Chain A
Amino acid sequence: MGGREATMVLLDENGIRCDGRKVDETRKITIKAGVLKNADGSAYIEFGDNKILVGIFGPRDVHPKHMSDTDTGILRVRYHMEPFSVTERKNPAPSRREIEISKVIKEALEPAVMLEKFPRTAVDVFIEILQADGGTRCAALSAASVALADAGIPMRDLVAACASGKVADTIVLDVNNEEDQAGQADMPIGYMPNLKKITLLQLDGILTPEEYKKCVEVGVNGCKIVYELQKKALTDKYFGNGSD
């Protein structure tokens, strides 16, 4: 009758979660690189029920000019949710949350992108959330790094992202919308798999030091799963019919 279910079994006695996954299982992920013709680079990701489209322009000259940096290029990220991406219409104007996620994704991509090669230019990343179902920032970050590689912007490594969290006193991988609402903690992680470096780490909830360590470990393993799919998306586009 409208409201949220009073009792929801997040984790049953067999270790199966509310959407039928095991504790260390991600949702179904598909990534496609180079889906837009007019953008310099693009990617589309389906991360469970999340559907996200990313387009890249650049390097190109900076407008307004005063934003440009003579030493290095700049990265500009816009994370935007479509009005129809959530159940109740979302106002298309940038909200406080969207501005924050834009900043967080920008800072998670910066260590990977070699902007110093293009002084006085800007790289623009446009992220459109077509459908949201928890964990959009991780999915958006993963797609953005594929799109940047597709645009041919030099990168030290791809950034793969995946969330982990605590649900029903258990550390689980890839928290979905229900688990995020009713769970105890949510930790999005951005990770550069070849350099073995973390570029994004947020935590919403309370964890003990031991749980924290476990959570990071589980999340990083999730990132490695995402990385393989990112790799596949790029390999499929560029080396599709010519096998190595």
Chain B
Amino acid sequence: MENKRKYVIPGDLVTTGPFRPEQNVILEGNKIISTSIGISEIYDDSVRVIPLTGKYIPKIDDLVIGKVLSHTSLSWELDINSCYVGFLPAQDVFGRDFSAHADELSSKLKTGDLVAARIANFDRTRDPLITISDRDLGKIDSGTLVKISPSKVPRLIGKRGSMIQMIEQATNAAVTIGQNGWVVVSCESHEGLLKAKKAIQMVNEKAHVANLTDQVKKMLESKSES
């Protein structure tokens, strides 16, 4: 366990002293103050608060699941469960020799399609630029979408992926987790799919419970016997 974990709300003093403020904390004089409801963590030289609530804010290199909202002749717009829409340029899909006359965007991605994508670039001035030109990225053909709160994504993954590995092994399902809180589950067997979905929902609802891994394990095992 990391040292000195503490429950904090906005305005709470996390610590004082020469620490570097990271996520969800601000420096006021020599005090480090939390700006969110969450759990504070103090490392050797830095302080951060892991939020327990809030919308997804895009971060470069995050894997996200997006849903195609619309397209122009040059780009797609994707709903990435954030306050900003994802911008996917056509060159990214068709390659550099893309021509707006010859290529029809809807032939590759239609409105409503699910896409696994990566945030390529994002700053304050423009909507997040996303890319699907990488291994394991691109259109998702099968599976069901489960929506969870983006702040619970780290809990669903678990320490070094322990939670999600356990769910995948117990149900034989393939789970793709977007950092934006959208999760795609696909499984050959219907029961496995239902069970995996139930486990994910359980993590979403009980993220604050301490022995959640055991509870989920119990749930996964109990169903397989009956």
Contacts and interface: CB of A to CB of B under 8 A. Distances in A.
Given A156-B10, A234-B37, A242 B208 contact: yes
A41 B53 contact: yes
Interface residues of A, number: 37
A231 B11 CA distance: 10
A242 B210 contact: yes
Given A152-B151, A192-B11, A244-B7, A59 B83 contact: yes
A151 B36 CA distance: 9
Contacts of A235: 7, 9
Contacts of B26: 114, 156
Nearest to B13: A194
A242 B54 CA distance: 20
Contacts of A60: 83
Contacts of A58: 55, 83
Instruction: Categorize the interface residue count of chain B.
Output: 20 to 34
Interface string A40-68: 11000000000000000011110000000
Given A61-B83, A121-B83, A154 B24 contact: yes
Contacts of B57: 117-118
A119 B125 contact: yes
Nearest to B11: A157
Contacts of A155: 10-11, 35-36
Contacts of A242: 208-210
B204 to A, nearest CB: 13
Interface string A143-162: 00000011111111110000
B41 interface: no
A181 interface: no
A152 B12 contact: no
Interface of B: 6-7, 9-13, 24, 26, 28, 33, 35-37, 51-55, 57, 83-85, 124-125, 151, 208-210
14 contacts: A70-B125, A120-B84, A149-B9, A149-B10, A151-B53, A156-B10, A156-B35, A157-B10, A157-B33, A231-B9, A238-B9, A239-B7, A239-B208, A244-B6
Interface of A: 40-41, 58-61, 70, 112, 114, 117-121, 149-158, 192-195, 231, 234-235, 238-242, 244
Given A61-B85, A155-B10, A193-B11, 10 more contacts: A60-B83, A61-B84, A114-B26, A150-B37, A152-B51, A152-B53, A153-B54, A154-B10, A192-B11, A194-B13
